[in-house]
Structure 1
Amino acid sequence: MLIQHFQMLSRYNYLANCRLYDVCSLLSDVELKQTRPAFFKSIYVTLNHIMIGDRIWMGRFTGKEMSSQGLDAILYDKFEELRAARVLEDERITTFIDNLDDDFLKGIITYKNNQGKIYSDPVNLLLAHFFNHQTHHRGQIHDMLTETEITPPSLDMHRVISS
C-alpha cells in the first residue's frame, strides 16, 4: 500500500508541476524574477529551489549524493531551460518511484545536510518529506502568482489527479 501511495504522490507531483509551469510560462522574465515577500524572494528562485531539493533527495535515494550549490542557487538562467529540466527530473522521479520495493522502503539512509550535519532517517519518512517539500514550495509559488495578473492553477490533489 505504501508503494502505491508514493506512486500516487509521484503522479501528482508530475501533473502539479505541469500545471504550475504552464501558468508560469505566461509571465514575463521580469515577473518571474521580481522580488516578492516569500522565503526565496521570487517565483523563479523558488522553482529553482524545488529542482535543487529534488536533485539532492534523488541523489540520496539512489546512493549518488550530490553536493549542493546552495538552496537558493539558480541552476538555469532561462525559464524554458528550467522547464525542460523539470520535465526530465519528473520523469526520473516517476521511474524511480515506479520501481520502489518493500526492502528499500524499510531501509535507512544516512546523509549529510547542507550544514554538514549527519542524519540517519527511515526511507519511508524521507520519501514523504520529499513530496511534502515540493508541495510546500509549490504553495508558495501559488501564493506569489496571486500577486500577478495570472490566475494560479488549481493544485488540489484530488482535482489534479482526476482530471
Structure 2
Amino acid sequence: MLTQHFQLLAKYNTLANRKLYEACTQLSDDERKQTRPAFFKSIHGTLNHIMVGDRTWLGRFEGKAMPSTNLEAILYDDFDELWQVRQAEDERIENFAAGLTEEFLSSSIQYTNNSGRVCNDPVDLLVAHFFNHQTHHRGQIHDMFSQTTIAPPSLDMHRIIRP
C-alpha cells in the first residue's frame, strides 16, 4: 500500500535528518556557513532550503496556495533554532504521512512552480517528489561534509530504518 510506503519514508526522513543534524553539531558555525561549490552555497543554506521545500509542499498538500519563491531563503540563521524547528517539522511530516489516504493520493494538486508555470500534478507523484527532494539535498550536504574534517554520516535507508 502506497500510504504505508510514504509513512516509512517519513520515518526515514526523521531519522536521517537526526543523523545529519547531529553530524552538523560537530562543525563550527563558520564551517556550516562556509561557501562551497553547491547550489545553495553552504551546508546551512541547504538545510534551510530543505525547510523551505518542506513547508511549501506541506502547505500545498493542505490546500494552500504556496508559490515556489525565495528558494534560497535563510529562514533560520541560528543553527540551534533551525535544529529545533527541523524536529518539529519532521513530526509534522510524520503526522501528514500517518493521515494519508488512497483517495488523497489519487487526487491532483494545482500549483505554481518556481518558473511561474501553473502545474496540475497527481498527488502520489508530488508526495514521492517531496521525500525525494529531501534525500537529494541531504546527499548534497553529505558531499559538503567530505570537504570538511568531519566524516559524513551514513544515510543509507536500510541502515537507518533497521531496528
> Which category describes the TM-score, using the shorter chain as reference length?
over 0.9
Alignment check: 8 A CA contact 2:67 2:112 kept: no
2:23 corresponds to which residue? 23
Residue 159 of structure 2 corresponds to which residue in structure 1?
A: 159
Opposite residue 107 of structure 1, the aligned amino acid is: S
> Normalising by structure 2, what TM-score?
0.97
1:1-163 aligned within 5 A? 1-67=1-67, 70-163=70-163
CA distance in 2, matches of 1:5, 1:111: 24
CA RMSD of aligned residues (A): 1.0
1:69–1:117 distance in 2 versus 1, CA, 3 Å: closer
The CA distance in 1 between the partners of 2:144 and 2:136, in whole Å, is 13
Residue segments in structure 1 that go unaligned for 5+ positions in a row: none
Offset of 1:114 from its aligned partner?
2.4
TM-superposition CA deviations, 1:4-60 (whole Å, max 9, x none): 110110000000000000000111110000011111110000000000000000000
Give the aligned length. Answer: 163
Q: Which 5+ residue runs of structure 2 have no aligned equivalent?
A: none
